[in-house]
Amino acid sequence: MTSISLAVRWTGVWAVLLSGCATVAQITTLSDESCRQTVRSQLESILVEEGEQPEMANRLAVNTTVVLATGSLGPRPFGVSSPSGADYSFFVQRKGETCLLRLYGRQKGFTRYTNNLTYIATRSLEGCACAE
């Protein structure tokens, strides 16, 4: 196999891999109380689903929402670390006019699980707007 055919083959592989990539968005309406409440409740829902105690999930969701609302972080993934020892990786994706909260990774101790194809959990952020 020549180096040119190898380069073409790798270019094709990268094109396939990049075509499935999700773009990261930023929630633009966190100043609206109903949007903040939606983000909090959806974060809490995912954290409870992942095994966090409801009280701790609520506290983590409230704190994370405050940070997202007060910071000008731009569109990027964000993490949530729990006293339980678990770390969660999230991002927001814009799909048409809908904003989706996606949990794509979690780590506890030496065990790490990442799923950036179908995601671990997804919640719709109804009432929120987002931009890439």
Confidence of residue 12 (pLDDT cuts 50, 70, 90): very low
Pairing of strands 78-81, 86-95: antiparallel
Query: What pLDDT sits at residue 15?
Result: 35
pLDDT digits (tens, 9 = 90+) for 59-110: 999 999 999 898 777 788 999 999 999 999 999 999 998 999 999 999 999 9
- Residue 98, beta-bridge partner list: 95
Nearest alpha carbon to residue 61 among 123, 129, 130: 123
In whole angstroms, give the CA distance from residue 72 to residue 84: 28
pLDDT digits (tens, 9 = 90+) for 102-132: 999 999 999 999 998 889 999 999 999 999 8
Sequence ranges of the domains in the chain: 23-131
Token reading at 69: 């609302």
Single pTM value for the model? 0.80
Do the beta carbons of residue 74 and residue 57 sit within 8 Å? no
Please spell the DSSP secondary structure of 61-72, one letter per residue: HHHHHHHHHH--
Secondary element (H or E) of residue 111: strand 111-114
In whole angstroms, give the CA distance from residue 64 to residue 20: 28
Query: What pLDDT sits at residue 88?
Result: 96
Query: What pLDDT sits at residue 21?
Result: 64
Confidence of residue 19 (pLDDT cuts 50, 70, 90): very low
The SS3 call for residue 91 is strand
pLDDT digits (tens, 9 = 90+) for 24-69: 999 999 999 999 999 999 999 999 999 999 999 999 999 999 998 9
